[in-house]
A and B are shown apart, each in its own frame.
Chain A
Amino acid sequence: MNTSRKMGAEVAIVGGGIVGCAAAYYLARRGAKVVLLEKSVIGGEASGRNGGGVRAQCRDRRERPLAMASIRLWVGLEAELGFDVEYHQGGNIRMATNDERMAVLRREAEEELADGLAVEMWDRDELRRRAPYLGGVFSGAKYCPTDGTANPILATRAFGWAARRAGVTLLTQTEAVSVGVQAGRVTSLTGRDRDGGVLVEAPRLIHAGGPWTPMLSDTLGIQVPIEPARSVVAVTQRMPPLFKEFISSHDLGVYGRQAREGHVHIGGIGTPGRTFDQGVPAGVIERLARGAAEAIPALRGASFLRTWTGTLEMTPDRVPIIGPVDGVEGYILASGFSGHGFCLGPIVGKLLSELIVDGEPSLSLREFRLSRFAETVGSAQMGEEMDSPRLRGMEHY
């Protein structure tokens, strides 16, 4: 391909979602020269389409310290980026409809409290008192007061705009097609846009490519166990103020939040279709409607105005893959956020900037290494792991 444009950088980044843009921003603030390639628009995929929950509770233990640190960044994000991303620390309620679920939540609470995350268990009466808008089907809940919500579309773009102001070269509508490697280290990234090719010469590459990550990592001979999954969100017409928390129920299979101007967003929890297809299935719209009406009775008089889908990036253990990769020096993965990467975007971006500029991140990324999959299972068993019954009940959104 004719790479008519050439540029040099200290760090090349693939992916203009919240992770890529946050990494670009924090790196540029530390003085690094960064070029970011995004195949469509900044925030055009999952980072801009998710349910908007910014949460530390209900996570795998490995993610918890990152999520807690990220929330401290979210609190100061409007000032940091100079843009209102509609972040609201309104709390997070995870409801239960039966004793089994309550028991699961209690065990989770013990672990979270031990890790320093303040959560509370609410029985039926307390739930009724604290969240009277929730339906009578719930018998209790776990509540985290420091969790909250934000506007995914604006937050991702705000990171992009701030990165650009800080000197990052953002190349949108530019697809990354190959990575140059010499003597076991990254030397360049090649991208393709409407006008032809662009060559970015850089010794480091952060690969935050979401579900499209394996397409590029395959060209490097690196097996990254990420599979796509479709997730659907529906939004109502504007409603009077009903609630400020992020709410979710694994039993009803829905989560929700009320956005700033009153529209209620309802998303699905469950086993999403394993596909890149972004069509909206009729059955899912109906299930969201049913879950919404049961969770929040006031929505029975409301209408869905709009739906959309996004593509998640699922790993075998539903925990992201972050960090350097053996055998290709300078190649850093930051993908596989399995439906719960929105909150983590800022902290992962910051930690990657620390990894590159300081040589070490302020929070360990060891638990997120790619090599953990080879350590626990042989590669032949990778496919089976994705379907394991043990995983089906786990959080992924």
Chain B
Amino acid sequence: MADRVEVAVVGAGPAGLSAALAAARAGAQVTLIDSHRAPGGQYFKQAAAELWVGNPSRHQREGQALWQKVMEAGVRFLPETVVWGTFEGNLLALHGPQAPSFLQAQAIILATGAYDRPVAFPGWTLPGVMTAGAAQVLLKQQRILPGKRILLAGTGPLQVVLAAELVRAGADVVAVLEGGRLFTASLRHLGVLWGQWRRLVEGLSSRLTLSRWRVAFRPGWGIAEAHGRDQVEAATITRLDQDWRPIPGSEETLACDTLCLGYGFIPSNTLARLMGAEQDWRPDRGGEVPLRDGHMQTNVPGVYAAGDGAGIGGGPLALVEGEIAGIAAAARTGHGAGDVEREIRRLSPALARERRFQQMYAALFTPGPGLYEWSREDTILCRCEEVTQGDVRRAVALGADSINEVKAITRCGMGDCQGRMCGHLVAQCIARETGRSVTEVGVFRPRPPIFPVPISALGRHAADDTSAGAAEAIRR
């Protein structure tokens, strides 16, 4: 027997919190699910409850305030809970300490967020090479530095902000490498920045901090190789052409013990795909994104998607999209005073403003195609199964021309991360080898469980026969 709820929100980052609040305020019964211990996602990452921090960041304060409202609105929160599958009739399969094994929701809002884009180059699997997001978690949640001598490589203002935070926290930041050459491109987009005062101020303040501490900011540079035996000890950097291809002969080597990669984000869309939501390939939005209407509803009735999980757009956009999805989902379940369309239209200016910002951001900071040529034959593409670029090319030579065929032969994508890290890397490699487009090459076929689930938890439910009603529910 499944638990029932009117609106289920998957993910408690800005989109999920905003959606849960909007739906609850409209009168709907809401359950909010997140796989982490505390709400906030990455954007509103809070310091751990056991820490006292004297100067929480603006984001942390904003997230705390929003969380307060969500709690006051009577939303039920299921922390440390994973949605591992979905079955017919939009039935969600859950695993978590307070969660029922199945949840039947009339409306589901997917606010699953995103994760840092993995970038492959020789040595990228060395300990000490991590994503910028990993460094952010350590800083914000635990006030720990990821290392002592830190090199940042990526694109966009986020890593400038991160570098400034690291410097202020006492780290030796070696340099900030920016893949793009920004100057002419950015002039075209200056108008978009009107109305984005907070972002401008933050960005400028971070740049000033870096200047003051003499941290080099180097546009048009990327990573050729990370060196070290058991952990990173140095990185060879390389000049990039306008397509982000390494320019031979331009290399320099810098000593470092930590390398933070900030090359954008990939939407977490496995759950959306498992639910049958039709996807579109949008490199400017991070990869595969679900098709949605003006209510943030996907082509699956009752399933909505908001925030970075539906296409990279940043925190403020996620808040607006979440609110729209919350209003729409509540209306679907028969709640909400007044005219739903008018409620949503009220949010149009904010939505449009944030979307314009996102488009500018994408135009400036989407990595060039050369990013996928930083790897060599012996570079690992699939971290979990240690499958190299050469292995992928050999599979293509045997006749595999799709990602699922290459997976079958090489085991790439069969590891614990279920292809989240290597999906884009392997697809781009196959596309280059075969001349097919990335969409033709395809994506790893999603099947439950979409995260590993303990056998002890699954077996217990079978023994209780509590899932009798759900037993024959099927999801492709």
Contacts and interface: CB of A to CB of B under 8 A. Distances in A.
Interface string A334-361: 0000000000000000000000000000
Given A236-B455, A283-B470, A306 B409 contact: no
**Chain A's interface: helix, strand, loop or mixed, by majority?**
helix
A300 interface: yes
Residue among B411, B457, B471 with most chain A CB within 10 A: B471
Interface stretch (B129-137, B341-349, B458-466): B458-466
A85 to B, nearest CB: 12
A359 to B, nearest CB: 34
A302 interface: yes
Contacts of A278: 476
Contact of B449 (A154, A279, A290, A304): A304
A222 to B, nearest CB: 32
A289 B416 contact: no
A274 to B, nearest CB: 13
Contact of B458 (A41, A281, A286): A286
Residue among A281, A285, A288, A306 with most chain B CB within 10 A: A285
A303 B461 contact: no
A306 B455 contact: no
B396 to A, nearest CB: 13
B172 interface: no
Interface string A15-48: 0000000000000000000000000010100001
B68 interface: no
B409 A153 contact: yes
Contact of A282 (B102, B405, B409): B102
A246 interface: no
A273 to B, nearest CB: 8
A242 to B, nearest CB: 13
A281 B471 contact: yes
A282 B447 contact: no
B448 A302 contact: no
B249 interface: no
Contacts of A164: 399
A288 B455 CA distance: 9
A181 interface: no
A200 B459 CA distance: 51
A305 B418 contact: yes
Q: Interface size bucket, A side?
A: 35 or more
B458 A285 contact: yes
B455 A292 contact: yes
Contacts of B93: 282
B416 A305 contact: yes
A41 B405 contact: yes
Given A157-B409, A287-B462, A290-B463, A282 B87 contact: yes
Contacts of A87: none
A193 to B, nearest CB: 14
Nearest to B102: A282
Contacts of A307: 447-449
Interface in A285-325: 285-290, 292-293, 299-308
A280 interface: yes
Interface in B353-409: 398-399, 402, 405, 408-409
20 contacts: A153-B409, A161-B398, A236-B455, A237-B452, A279-B88, A279-B476, A281-B87, A282-B93, A284-B471, A285-B449, A286-B458, A287-B462, A289-B455, A289-B457, A290-B459, A300-B455, A301-B456, A305-B418, A306-B418, A306-B449
Interface of B: 85, 87-88, 91, 93, 102, 398-399, 402, 405, 408-409, 411, 414, 416, 418, 447-449, 452-459, 461-463, 467-468, 470-476
Closest 6 CB pairs of A and B: A283-B471, A289-B458, A286-B462, A279-B474, A303-B452, A290-B459
Given A282-B470, A293-B456, 6 more contacts: A41-B402, A157-B398, A280-B474, A281-B471, A289-B455, A290-B463
